Structure 1
Amino acid sequence: MIMEGKPLRRSSRVLLFGPAHELILIRRTRPGRAPYLTTPGGGVEPGETWDQAAVRECREEVGAEVIIGPTAYIAYVSTPRRAIQRYALAKLITLDDDVRHGPEFENPARGRYQTVRIALDDQELDLLRPAELVPILRDFGGELAAEARGLNPTVP
């Protein structure tokens, strides 16, 4: 069912793999909620491509320079607002917590954002949101990590 009058939000997220095939995730701790894990990513700004948004969000949220690869998963979210979430494979180049920035870090009321490295067989992966990514990563994470490892920068 299409909800009239509400704009569709485009969200570009990444399955970011480090050199040891570990996932680079964000541990979110919000007041009054149990901690959970999420992937780096966020809204696609006007004039931005999905890949440009993914690169920007990785830099802002985890201080990562990345290479973006193919789409690995697409989700449609209907509540609390309509959104298309695209999850691309990404390869970590560098990681520096000191360059993270944005509203997530400027407003303490939003909780804590901690960059973490999680092995694909780590039980903590069960805390990942959205939960439907967990079985995909458990079953195919090794293959996705290998594909991400083979990504190379594109030459325009």
Structure 2
Amino acid sequence: MDAPFEKRLRRAARIIVLDPDNRALMFRFDVADRPPFWVTAGGECEPHENFDEAARRELFEETGITADPGPQIAQTTPEFITVEGEPVQADERYYIVRVDEARIDTANHTELEQQVMTQHRWFTHAELHNWPEAIFPENIAAMIEDYLAS
């Protein structure tokens, strides 16, 4: 009998970027054979990085923002298939970064990010609850509410 398939652990730092109106920056992914979906900035930790270091690097690479990601506010452990087609067990750590203006720079996106991250926009709280396409993490509105209430 074959041994059960073990998914690779994918450590990732995710950053919820909030503008002065508490709108959240989200990126739309368009991947072949999947419905479009929206996610926060962030990505996989390099082997030598801890989550805080990855959050700082990913924030700059995906948004052009240089900032301290602050304390971790949440952790999720979803299972999913990466845009490259690999099934993984994720360990995702979430951070919140406040910015003074709703402007980002995507010039540092990788070739793959340029292909699949087709749009970005700032979502209001109501939009996070009612958007017709999938938004990940599914509980992002609650994460932001908890942060703003603290």
Partner of 2:89: 82
Pairing 1:37–2:44 present? no
**Quick check: which one's helix share is greater?**
1
Distance 1:140 1:49, change over 3 A: closer
Runs of 4+ in 1 over 3 A off after TM superposition: 3-7, 93-96
Deviation at 1:43, TM superposition (A): 1.0
Pairing 1:97–2:102 present? no
Pairing 1:119–2:124 present? yes
How many residues align? The count is: 138
Q: Which blocks of at least 5 consecutive residues in structure 1 are unaligned?
A: 148-156
Distance 1:93 1:64, change over 3 A: farther
Q: Which blocks of at least 5 consecutive residues in structure 2 are unaligned?
A: 81-86
**4-13 or 53-62, larger mean C-alpha shift:** 4-13
User: Could you say what the CA RMSD is over the residues aligned between the two structures, in angstroms?
Assistant: 2.8
Identity of aligned residues (%): 25
SS in 2 for 1:67: coil
